[in-house]
Chain A
Amino acid sequence: MQAAESTVDQSEIAKFEAMAAEWWDPNGKFKPLHMLNPCRLDYITKQISVDFKRDLDADKPFEGLRLLDIGCGGGLLSEPMARLGASVVGADAAERNIPVARVHAEQSGLDIDYRHTTAEALVEEAEKFDVVLNMEVVEHVADPLAYLTACQRLLKPGGLHICSTINRNPKSFAAAIVGAEYVMRWLPKGTHEWQKFITPDELFELLKKAGLDPVDRKGFVFNPITWSWKISERDTSVNYVTASVKPL
């Protein structure tokens, strides 16, 4: 990895800087992720703080925790986790995201280990983590059970797995595909295939089959009046998030 890095030329770096700026522009191409981010972070930080008994008002509350962010993109979740003190590995199957995320982390003065790799490859390397963040990925993979099993194997016993995705029903089809891709143009057309969406009950079953104990599920609900997202105890009809733990 080190050798590959040094062969990157300056014009490439300029391109990555521009792409990083795009990833991190709250009103740009990734606006929906930026809008959803505070809500995702509220859920993630709360689950981690409860599970590992950390005080979120402490300085670097997640110090000593090794965390994997799968599908890290530009680092929208990796950076907050690193800022809270976690030792973060950001993995993305899209190679071009890696230098982009690296450039931004360096600008932010954060030390994050970004890698172009997959959950399966990390299992091969016998990597182990306290926390695996698996946000908005499972609806894009070909074999969800194999993928979630890999996630489980990456966890230390007692480790925490947080997984968010999109429900499968007419409302989620309207919201995620017609709304987000066609009407709002938030996401490129073809980002999602509705048949691949998973219901919360199906996801709980898959998590159990993968060897994890599901412990929580909540909805992320968009309010078009306040133009913001809220965590909902009950409404998992479109976007939802789950927490599961690897048995000791």
Chain B
Amino acid sequence: MDNPDPMPILPNMENISDILIVGAGLNGSAMAIAAAQAGFRVTLVDSLPTATRRLPAFDGRSYALALASQRLLSAIGVWGAVRDSSQPILEIKVSDGRAGEGASPFFMHFDHAEIEEGPMGFMVEDRHLRRAFLDQIKAEDRITYIPEETVITQEVHATHFVVTLASGRDLAARMIVGSDGRQSGTAERAGIKRTGWDYGQTALVCAIEHEKPNNGIAHQFFMPAGPLAILPLTGNRSSIVWAEKTETAAKITQMSDSDFLDALRPRFGDFLGQIKLAGKRFSYPLNLTLANSFVADRLALIGDAAHGIHPIAGQGLNAGLRDVGALVEVLVEARRRGEDHGTRPVLDRYEGWRRFDSATLALATDGFNRLFSNDNALLRLGRDLGMGLINKLPRARRAFIREAAGLTGDVPKLLQGKPV
């Protein structure tokens, strides 16, 4: 009789990947590419079909990439494919406003010429990023890309992780990375609870074409119901992120395109001339959701799965890419030491690096939103004076610019444009 094997049965070592990533959005894709380039064998599971990720038409969505994020994209070889279709953000103007009144005389003005690093960031359309990431994923030998599949169960073992896909297929990996968004199934299945609240605000997102050039200037108006951002795209186009109270937003969403434009026009005056829609309109309810832990045994969360924040400062994708840079750096250092990269002591270093930063950012954007989404006369006067004051102080202004560019704090190597 054979001896019963007291060990857990280890799947065939050849079939174990080093890292299994759930969700091929921008953060998950960046993680897959950066990890593969660092020498890890990666499996990337995505619920969407490749064709959807590749849709070529402009759908109105775009991202404000901080300079540090652009450096990461450069370091992983994706930037070249999107550079020519990106719009550098040369200046940021922040002002307080009320519909129909235009901007208040107090405002903050940040010009990239005040720092030596270059533009504060770049506006890149979602469609260009998606395609560039997908092309790079295909070019990486170490990535196994599995589209149109969802994870239904996951189980952690002493030395590896096993997930079962909807098709019944089992995949084993040394660790799993959840980049599956605010309602991360990866986190939920691991029993990681979330903390957060709803803002009672909804973001209305679209792109517009306008008569006059935007000159690479990003505008942020603080309106009583929520902030309105006008972000420069290439050509005479801009991306609009308009936050409104949820009830109002629901009504606006129901409007026809022409009624929508009529509602939008008085909010930022006529400095861009005539405007019309370019692409679809989207709406996103705004909430803050922070995973109570970013890691578990052989599991790490990145991007919105770890921290879904208020998009007030356009920091969502940028924070996610900072997670990617930090996690890859921690994993590479562990491998150089011969450590098992999926173990808790290793992953705790990632959490220690990112958690404080993320919580600070979540609370800062939250506080910022509470301060500005308000029509209280005293608060309004206070913030106007504050903005006027910051605007007069070059040092404070430069600190804001560096913060917006993602150049502050303990910046992961990839986000400094350096190899890991």
Contact = CB atoms under 8 A, between A and B. Distances in A.
A107 B6 CA distance: 10
Contacts of A26: 343-345, 348
A153 interface: no
Interface stretch (B53-61, B115-123, B133-141, B331-339): B331-339
A246 interface: no
A41 B339 contact: yes
Contact of A45 (B4, B7, B337, B343): B337
Nearest to A227: B352
Nearest to B336: A56
A79 B39 CA distance: 20
A109 interface: yes
A90 B143 CA distance: 35
B158 interface: yes
B357 interface: no
- Secondary structure of the A contact surface, majority rule: helix
Interface residues of B, dominant DSSP = loop
B415 to A, nearest CB: 20
Interface string B133-172: 0000000000000000000000000110000000000000
B13 interface: yes
Contact of B337 (A14, A38, A59): A38
Contact of B339 (A14, A17, A59, A80): A80
Nearest to B158: A107
A9 B267 CA distance: 79
B366 interface: no
Contacts of A38: 337, 339, 345
A83 B6 CA distance: 23
B340 interface: yes
Contact of A109 (B6, B13, B336, B338): B13
Nearest to A58: B39
A116 interface: no
A121 interface: no
A42 B337 contact: yes
Nearest to A34: B345
Contacts of A151: none
Interface string A161-202: 000000000000000000000000000000000000000000
Interface string B332-368: 0000111110011100100000000000000000000
Interface string A52-77: 00001101000000000000000000
A143 interface: no
A41 B337 contact: yes
A17 B5 CA distance: 13
Interface residues on B, range: 10 to 19
B39 A83 contact: no
B10 interface: yes
Contacts of A207: none
B100 interface: no
Given A13-B6, A34-B345, A109 B339 contact: no
A37 B39 CA distance: 23
Contacts of A89: none
Contacts of B6: 10, 13-14, 17
B75 to A, nearest CB: 15
A84 B345 contact: no
Contacts of B344: 26
Interface in A16-65: 17, 26, 34, 37-38, 41-42, 45, 56-57, 59
Scoring A42, A82, A107 by chain B CB atoms within 10 A of each residue's CB, the highest score goes to A107
A224 B159 CA distance: 31
Given A34-B345, A109-B13, A109-B159, A81 B338 contact: yes
A108 interface: yes
Interface string A225-237: 0000000000000
Contacts of A84: 338
A3 to B, nearest CB: 15
B8 interface: yes
Given A41-B337, A107-B158, A57 B39 contact: yes
Contacts of B348: 26
Contacts of A34: 345
A125 interface: no
B338 A107 contact: no
B345 A59 contact: no
B10 A59 contact: no
A10 B6 CA distance: 8
B337 A80 contact: yes
Given A10-B6, A26-B345, A107-B7, A59 B39 contact: yes
Nearest to A104: B158
18 contacts: A10-B4, A10-B6, A38-B345, A41-B337, A42-B337, A45-B337, A45-B338, A56-B336, A57-B39, A59-B39, A81-B338, A106-B7, A107-B7, A107-B8, A107-B158, A107-B159, A108-B159, A109-B10
Q: Give the 7 A-B CB pairs with smallest separation, nearest first.
A: A80-B338, A41-B337, A84-B338, A83-B338, A56-B336, A26-B345, A107-B158
Given A14-B6, A37-B345, 6 more contacts: A13-B6, A26-B343, A38-B345, A45-B338, A57-B336, A79-B338
